[in-house]
Structure 1
Amino acid sequence: MHLLTLAIAALTAIVVAAVLSRRTGIATPLVLLVVGIVFSLVPATPEFELEPDWILLGALPPLLYATAVQVPVIDLRRSFGMITWLSVTLVVVSALAVGAVVHLVVPEVSFAAGVALGAVVSPTDAVAATAIGKRLGLPHRLMTVLEGESLLNDASALVVLRTALLAITAGFSLGDAVLDFVRAVALAALVGYVVGHATVWLRSRLDDPVLTTAVSFIVPFLAFLPAEEAEASGVVAVVVAGLVAGHHGARRFSARERLTERTNWLTLQFLVENGVFLLMGLQLESLLRDLDDSSSTPQEVLGIAALVLALLLVLRVGFVGVEILGERRQQPRLDAMRRRLDQISDRVDSMADQGGPRIDSPRGQQRMSQFRRRVARGRADVAYQASEPVTARGGAVLSWAGMRGVVTLAAALTIPPEVEERTLLVTVAFVVAVVSLLVYGGTLPLLIRRLGVSGVDPDRERAEVAELFGDITTTAAAALGPLDQIVIDGQPIDRDLAEQQLAWLERVEEHRAGGTPEALTQQAQRLLLHREFISLMREALHEERAIGAYSTGALARASSMIDAQELRLDR
């Protein structure tokens, strides 16, 4: 009964904090963090012990999966260089730098233990940052980098932490550490890829939104647990499985299944995500008690935490700045690539005009189509890099969004008791996480407004959606073939009816059968034709998504419009 009361109280606090967040503009995780800290200092509040497995095994896999299924693969690919630069290179450098500085300032803390602390505080948590960014309309590429970095940097940090803890007890070998990292990532990617494809195949054959969603709830653990048992990165496995499910689910699942799954996952993500921040705040009292029992003082903890925060900020600003300069230097390369793609396109068109047995054959036509698709994708990639560069203002926002979260505290608690100065390391990690959340998260909205960093203009996005929808409906109509030769599921479609039905390209008209056999036949043909047309529109949208000429926002809105038509037909 006591646990049930606490659960109800926590759920109430989460809902109230979310309502307060919408009215005040303060991110919900920050509100809950403060609420947890305040309640932890009340004498009547029961003690809460945060078990690391609750976060690393229970909460982290579903949270990573819920984020990964929503991240467009094509956007992740286009920003992969910056994402890996921040989520891998910056994490490793930050861990080593923090380890060296902490060992220099506090000689009692060994270099390996300092690196363990650095690995704990190096990964960023994009929950509060993305909540603020979505509300204030940050550019899509900045949001992609923030989300992509938070997906991958946990894996890098946990691998570095494992290596550092191993070095404390059994020594350290750079070669072994690099091989272990590569093996962990490669094996985890394979596990995630297999689990993602297998579960998508299974769920596509269930034909039941409830069962499909129920199976999706265990996918993160199906990827995480085998990878961890194989001493690979469970985090990478979950992320890869989520990316595969999100990419193929748009094509393999019905609109009803996707809508049901999305609603349930958003609810679960909301509760778990905010619940762990509330739990994080409730840890303050127990950490202060442990600090009193140790030889460290609050002044020492605050001093080391301030030094670590300053070092992390300097490193992040430097790494973001290097990436921005690198992108600016790529402009000549992008221009050369654009000219090269134009030459290839002209050559392909010339070959198609000349014709010939090799070109006119089915295999030749297929190869020409593949060439055109690759050229279109290359042009779209170049246009994306040119239209959405990370400017100095965007870099400032990206640098200031480096907040640490509950994974930092959970990872710190995994440091074994035999490590000297463990209490100091855990408390410093907690202070770094809390201060970064409150300071960076509290001032990030002001920084975004002052710098004037904003996303796509609404009028421009509406025009892009209209153009995209026109393209996919034209492609779908062409894919149906001659109107007098349409046959769907063995049912010939009347030409006049097909012409009438194809006039409705943007919305579905409700047709009611008149009761006569002729009317029922006509109604059946209308439904067949419209379902086929919606299926072809989805195929055309999937092709546009693969090419990437349109923005993710336009693709998402077009997908929602097609889903709405499919749901109305189902009803």
Structure 2
Amino acid sequence: MDHQLLLIVGAALAIMIAASVFSRRTGVATPLLLVGLGIGASYLPGAPAIDLDPELVLAGVLPPLLYSAAVNLPVIDFRRNLRLISWLSIVMVIVSALVIGTVVYWIFPAISFPLAVALGAVVSPTDAVAATAIGRRVGLPPRVMTILEGESLVNDASALVVLRTAVAGLAATSSFSLGRTALEFGWAVIGALVIGGVVGWLTVLLRQRLDDPVLNTTISLVVPFLAYFPAEELHSSGVLAVVVAGLVTGALGSHRFSARDRQTQATTWTTFSFILESGVFLAMGYQVPELIDAAQGETSLGEIALLVLVVLVLLVVLRFGGLAVPALKDRYTDQNEQIRARLDQFEGHLDSMTPADDREDSRIGSARRRLARSRADVEFEEREPITARGFVTMGWAGMRGVVTVAAAQTIPAGASHRATVVLAAFLVALITLVLFGLTLPAVIRRMRFSPVSAKERHDAFRALLRQVGESAVDNLGPLESQTIDGEPIDPKLVAKLKDHILPRVLAGVREAPRFRPAVREQTLILQNRYLDEMRAALVAERSIGAYSSQTYRKVEAVLDDMERRLDLA
């Protein structure tokens, strides 16, 4: 059995790698290839039956996948799109679950109402893996990508809370309480925010003190489970706790972790996520034939086909209908001018104030930073608006995947028509992956989004780099006034730094400077001093958000590269 297990794992890894390579060459999304290969593998002679425990997927696979995505999602982009993300991932998930449950119960009375709601809950969350993979390749606007990723992070928690309540209704004489669902959802959110925030903050402090790539990466692999299991034990949302922990880690880690730690962690999590995501999609395809056989014992193929068709139609209607609400609101309500007028009035009030002491001066400075952030938010809305083409693309990107597959199988085994509902959820996920996944590239190209030109990206990068460099110089003061261990710097070294080395540091030149061993230590200290100030300035500027997330990441990558070169010097 051990040899058979090793053979299965080895064959699965080989299929994942081959599918990824083929996907890059052909443009077909990797999840689609893996599902197809999984179905084909299940029909091979001697193919073993694999029973994938759904709790293993929910508790062992889903937390690290969500954590990896949350760490890499810029918090400022998440905050700016929070209104639309909340609408899609909370309101529309609950509405979809209830509407689908009601319609399915009405058309198929043999399926109890709690079970029908459970079906609606498991098919309501979208999976952005395939959509974002396609979007990056064919030029989907960054803001649309952020919304899809943010939605897929939060909607899993919403769906699982509704599913938990529906499953409880199955065990309690098939009763379903909307009030109980609301209370449980409220606690799920509050508990997850607290637990995830505390876990993320404490683990960042620990990893900052260790400053060891191996230990930090090991701790990062445990963080998702440190957030998930305590939240689940307290009957909160473990999934949402993991997302919060990831967002906190990503926000704090950008300036508390060393460049080496971030690079090691990024490589590890990219590899880990690739294996987990690919494995789930491969297993999804492998289990489809077995589920069909199980469902035929309680429902005819015609009824299953009708059930799948009804759910698919409802999902499409609800998806586009749900997106039409914010689209119409944005079209007929333009608040930017009103917000800008209020900001101008607030700025005038700040200008008229004269601080009486340092404490009041600090409060005014904090208010000015909030003002700058609010202005940057308005400029962001005007620079990257969500057009009608963006809403259409988001509607078409509503594919289902990992959560639907795993959550469907957690429905109690004793429930009547369970196999039918599980198979319907699998087929819905499979059809959405194939139908929307194969056509999404053509839809995106048809929308003809206008990408930011290479010149604009380069100009923004140079402007931000220059800004953080000037801020570092202003904060540290002139070189002549600086000391190292209380001793002034050699005038010759000052001249060399000002004329040759420091301009390269401030301009982000990645070439490691050469200097005499006699002054190596002092030069490295001064360069690291300026590099630290540039990082602090980048963090301050990122909190305002006047530039795009891509620009911040590019400047951070330059600073990381400079840090690594200085460490090796």
Taking structure 1 as the reference length, the TM-score comes to 0.95
**In the alignment, structure 1 residue 323 sits paired with structure 2 residue 326:** yes
Within-5 A mapping of 1:66-465: 66-170=68-172, 171-292=175-296, 294-331=297-334, 333-351=335-353, 358-359=355-356, 361-465=357-461
- CA shift digits 1:167-195 (9 cap, x unpaired): 22223333222111101110111000010
Q: Distance in 1 between matches of 2:346 and 2:479?
A: 35
Which residue is equivalent to 1:546?
543
**In the alignment, structure 1 residue 533 sits paired with structure 2 residue 524:** no
Q: Distance in 1 between matches of 2:29 and 2:308?
A: 23
Match 1:556 to one of 542, 553, 556: 553
- In the TM superposition, what is the alpha-carbon distance from 1:105 to its structure 2 partner? 1.1
Which residue is equivalent to 2:474?
478
Runs of 4+ in 1 over 4 A off after TM superposition: 488-491
Amino acid in the other structure paired with 2:534:
M
Closer, same or farther: CA 470–234 of 1 in aligned 2, 3 Å: same
- In the TM superposition, what is the alpha-carbon distance from 1:509 to its structure 2 partner? 4.7
Q: Is the 8 A contact 1:477 1:502 kept in 2?
A: no
Amino acid in the other structure paired with 2:184:
D
Q: Is the 8 A contact 2:510 2:558 kept in 1?
A: no
Q: Distance in 1 between matches of 2:146 and 2:520?
A: 45
Which residue is equivalent to 2:498?
499
Which residue is equivalent to 1:55?
57
- CA shift digits 1:345-380 (9 cap, x unpaired): 2343344xxx5xx35x43343223212211100000
- In the TM superposition, what is the alpha-carbon distance from 1:454 to its structure 2 partner? 4.7
Q: Distance in 1 between matches of 2:420 and 2:386?
A: 38
Secondary structure at 2:127 match in 1: coil
Q: Distance in 1 between matches of 2:315 and 2:142?
A: 25
Secondary structure at 2:210 match in 1: coil
Q: Distance in 2 between matches of 1:43 and 1:508?
A: 56
Q: Distance in 1 between matches of 2:408 and 2:183?
A: 24
Count of equivalent residues:
558
Amino acid in the other structure paired with 2:268:
N
Amino acid in the other structure paired with 2:189:
V
**In the alignment, structure 1 residue 468 sits paired with structure 2 residue 467:** no
Secondary structure at 1:282 match in 2: helix
Amino acid in the other structure paired with 1:324:
A
Q: Is the 8 A contact 1:138 1:454 kept in 2?
A: no
Uncovered stretches (5+) of structure 2, i.e. residues with no partner: none
- CA shift digits 1:68-105 (9 cap, x unpaired): 00001111011001001000111111111111111111
- CA shift digits 1:188-234 (9 cap, x unpaired): 11000010001000001112111111110000000001111111100
Secondary structure at 2:381 match in 1: helix
Q: Is the 8 A contact 2:128 2:149 kept in 1?
A: yes
Question: What is the CA RMSD across the aligned residues, in angstroms?
Answer: 1.5
- In the TM superposition, what is the alpha-carbon distance from 1:489 to its structure 2 partner? 5.4
Q: Distance in 2 between matches of 1:88 and 1:377?
A: 27
- In the TM superposition, what is the alpha-carbon distance from 1:408 to its structure 2 partner? 0.7
Secondary structure at 1:103 match in 2: helix
Match 1:567 to one of 549, 564, 568: 564
Closer, same or farther: CA 511–417 of 1 in aligned 2, 3 Å: closer
Closer, same or farther: CA 297–489 of 1 in aligned 2, 3 Å: farther
Closer, same or farther: CA 302–388 of 1 in aligned 2, 3 Å: same
Uncovered stretches (5+) of structure 1, i.e. residues with no partner: none
Q: Distance in 1 between matches of 2:22 and 2:203?
A: 38
